[in-house]
Structure 1
Amino acid sequence: MKNYALVTGSADRIGKAVAIHLAKQGYNLVLHYNSSVEKAQKVKDEILSLPNSVEVELLQINFLKDNDFDQIFTELKEKEISIEILVNCASDFIPSNFKDQGSALFDKEMTINFKNPYLLTKAFANVFGTGNIINFVDTKVAKNSTVHLDYILSKKLLKDFTGISAVELAPNIRVNGIAPGLILPPEGKDESYLLNLAENIPLKTIGNLEEILKAVQFILDSKFFTGQILYIDGGEHLV
């Protein structure tokens, strides 16, 4: 049985960076994607080109459908794939507020950003029983003002679930979270957009993917660390 890390949303952005980082640390990878098969294949090819030979599997799952994650993990186990690290990184990020009518967006954001990490966590515990879980939330979970109402509600739930699961799954599974701040601009924006926002946070600068990867590595290396949220945000959650 070979140990693997499963990274959801690994075809792009933070998920891609985390997957490549873990491969550089010697972990075999299961790369989850939904529709971005070409991007996922490019990440796989990049990992396979690394000098420290690791194995890579692609895993297509549509998080908006009902999925039996226990069965999916059992099938991986039957292939001699043991998931040691689960990184819940896949997210959907759409603006919303109290004026929006209906529940369609609420259901979508809750399903992708909370329900699936919730179900994956339980399946991970049931099938594999030991390891590390890292949940990606958002620095704005510490606040109560937002222009992404449904998204932030889902991430606030994931933050609280991180603490609950850290208690329930200890001592065999450690569960922690990372809350990025101004790291990558949203689609359609550039770095200047982030730099303008950075004027309102304590450190008055923006972060980068390297800071996120340092947080990932700290969590994995720190055996006496669980149930915590690392805010990689230049102090944004404080103001």
Structure 2
Amino acid sequence: MSASPILITGGAQRLGRHCAERLIDEGHPVIVSYRREREALEALRRRGVVTLQADFDSQAGIEDFLERLKAETSSLRAIVHNASDWAPDVAGPEAGDNFERLFRVHMLAPYLINLGARELLEACSEPMRDIVHMTDFVASKGSRKHAAYAASKAGLENLTLSFAAMYAPSIQVNAIAPAMIMLNEDDDEAYAEKARAKSAMGLIPGPGVIHQSLRYLLDNRYVTGITLPVDGGRHLR
């Protein structure tokens, strides 16, 4: 249990929401950022989660979020950079704008938040303080249809190394690189079967494996600068 809250960006849905709920179950105070209002946010608020709207599409939006975060709390136990946008590549004049937006969400926001919130982490009275970057399996493999997404997630993995070196030994900085973890509501069984076949384990495991991986990083005092793959052995295919 932590007295200082854990920040999860993009914590209103899917993996971020699941981790927020499990951390609350374990007694940790949690702050989540969200881009737009969702029904799930009310359920989180009823459980005591602090919710802060954030627009990471611009540097001004990131800096505004940082100011409101500092007004909300004087310390943080950990930052989990989960905010993400699985946007496909586009052709034509919008291609550059698409790439820049993914860069801001996946790289600039974590970069500026890590710099701006360092004082909040160092103010935590506990011996362990963590930053966790949520990257992606495709960061090491590339993607035919999501090249900008894959490149920006690869950049986030590299930021893991830099911040781990900069912030050691007081703050540990690691990454988690998931592959297919959970289905969308409109995914059919044919899609699910194809997705299962991509991993050696033949599973779509659900978000619990990400919470387990996050707990490992939060609990281990001797791990920093690594990317933890959670991909069911896709690299073996």
For Structure 1 versus Structure 2, the TM-score category normalised by the shorter chain is: 0.7 to 0.9
* TM alignment of 1:192-207, pairs within 5 A: 192-207=190-205
Task: Please tell me whether residue 75 in structure 1 is matched to residue 75 in structure 2.
Answer: no
Task: Tell me the amino acid that sits aligned with residue 22 of structure 1.
Answer: L
Which segment is superposed worse, 133-142 or 123-132?
123-132
**Counterpart for residue 16 of structure 2:** 15
Q: 8 Å contact 1:134–1:178 — kept in the other structure? A: yes
Task: Please tell me whether residue 151 in structure 1 is matched to residue 149 in structure 2.
Answer: yes
**Counterpart for residue 27 of structure 1:** 28
Distance 1:168 1:27 in 2: 27
**Over residues 106-135 of structure 1, what are the superposed CA-to-partner deviations in whole Å (9 max), with x where a residue is unaligned?**
011111121111111111214432611111
* TM alignment of 1:1-239, pairs within 5 A: 2-45=3-46, 48=47, 55-65=48-58, 66=60, 67-68=62-63, 69-77=65-73, 81-96=74-89, 99-101=91-93, 102-129=95-122, 131-186=129-184, 188-190=186-188, 192-239=190-237
SS of 2:71's equivalent in the other structure is: helix
Q: 8 Å contact 1:18–1:213 — kept in the other structure? A: yes
The structure whose residues are more often strand, as a share, is 1
Q: 8 Å contact 2:19–2:211 — kept in the other structure? A: yes
1:238 to 1:154, Cα distance in 2 relative to 1, 3 A: farther
SS of 1:64's equivalent in the other structure is: coil
SS of 1:112's equivalent in the other structure is: helix
Deviation at 1:168, TM superposition (A): 0.7
Identical aligned residues as a percent: 27
Aligned residues: 227
Distance 1:17 1:152 in 2: 24
**Counterpart for residue 52 of structure 1:** none
1:76 to 1:121, Cα distance in 2 relative to 1, 3 A: same
Q: 8 Å contact 1:8–1:32 — kept in the other structure? A: yes
**Over residues 80-101 of structure 1, what are the superposed CA-to-partner deviations in whole Å (9 max), with x where a residue is unaligned?**
x42111111010111116x554
1:235 to 1:108, Cα distance in 2 relative to 1, 3 A: same
Distance 1:194 1:100 in 2: 32
Q: 8 Å contact 1:85–1:132 — kept in the other structure? A: yes
Cα RMSD (Å) of the superposition? 2.1
Deviation at 1:148, TM superposition (A): 0.5
Deviation at 1:158, TM superposition (A): 0.4
Task: Tell me the amino acid that sits aligned with residue 7 of structure 1.
Answer: I
Q: 8 Å contact 1:183–1:206 — kept in the other structure? A: yes
1:13 to 1:105, Cα distance in 2 relative to 1, 3 A: same
Which segment is superposed worse, 148-157 or 200-209?
200-209
Deviation at 1:12, TM superposition (A): 0.5
SS of 2:223's equivalent in the other structure is: coil
Distance 1:70 1:36 in 2: 19
Give the unaligned 5+ runs of structure 1: 49-54
Distance 1:191 1:59 in 2: 36
Tell me the TM-score normalized by structure 2: 0.87
**Over residues 10-31 of structure 1, what are the superposed CA-to-partner deviations in whole Å (9 max), with x where a residue is unaligned?**
1100000010111112111112
